[in-house]
Amino acid sequence: MEATSAAGGFKVHAETVTVQTEQRVELVDLTERIMSYARATGIREGLGHIWSMHTTCAVFINEAQHALHADIKSFLEQMVARDAEWLHNDPDHSDCDRFNADSHLRAMLLGHHLTLQVTSGEIVLGQWQRILIAELDGPRARTLRVQVMGI
């Protein structure tokens, strides 16, 4: 799905991005895909927006480093134990059979969206900043919506 609308020089472009994850908990670097898309819209000044279409898949900023990504996974495990007695995982209280309360709580901490500035036709990111998604209940096919608006 792709959409483009314009009025008086103001434009909105939007696109669906899909990601196939391979593990239950996995970080994927989407920076290049998002930056390429933003560039292709031709919008010079405005905002970009990335939305995860899932409750258990987060979008956030951090450095792309193998050791740090291992730390992020450890940290999420420390913060939200998978095997705690969550009601969402209890058949007496929930009809969800994915046993994924931890995924919901971890995604809530990281957040489901990013808003980014576009300046001179480029997404604004610092030297070490990368646009990451956190798969928290995979492996799955995940869908994100990316929008760029401006002039």
Residues that bind its own copies (CB under 8 A): 3, 5-10, 12, 14, 44-47, 49, 51-55, 60-63, 65-68, 70-72, 74-75, 79-80, 86-88, 90, 93-94, 96, 101, 104-105, 107-117, 119-120, 124-129, 143, 145, 147, 149-151
Pick 40 or 70: Cβ nearer its own copies: 70
- Rounded-to-integer distance, Cα 7 and Cα 9, Å: 6
**Burial of 107 (C-beta count, 10 Å sphere; 0-12/13-18/19+):** buried
- Rounded-to-integer distance, Cα 9 and Cα 74, Å: 47
Nearest CA among 85, 137, 128 for reference residue 106: 137
Pick 22 or 93: Cβ nearer its own copies: 93
Q: How far is the CB of 11 from its own copies (least distance, A)?
A: 9
Q: How far is the CB of 65 from its own copies (least distance, A)?
A: 7
Q: How far is the CB of 36 from its own copies (least distance, A)?
A: 19
Pick 33 or 149: Cβ nearer its own copies: 149
Q: How far is the CB of 48 from its own copies (least distance, A)?
A: 10
Which helix (H) or strand (E) element contains residue 86? none
Tell me the two tokens of residue 146.
């990316």
Tell me the two tokens of residue 78.
């420390």
Pick 83 or 87: Cβ nearer its own copies: 87
Q: How far is the CB of 70 from its own copies (least distance, A)?
A: 5
Cβ-Cβ contacts under 8 Å for 115 (sequence gap 6 or more): 47, 48, 49
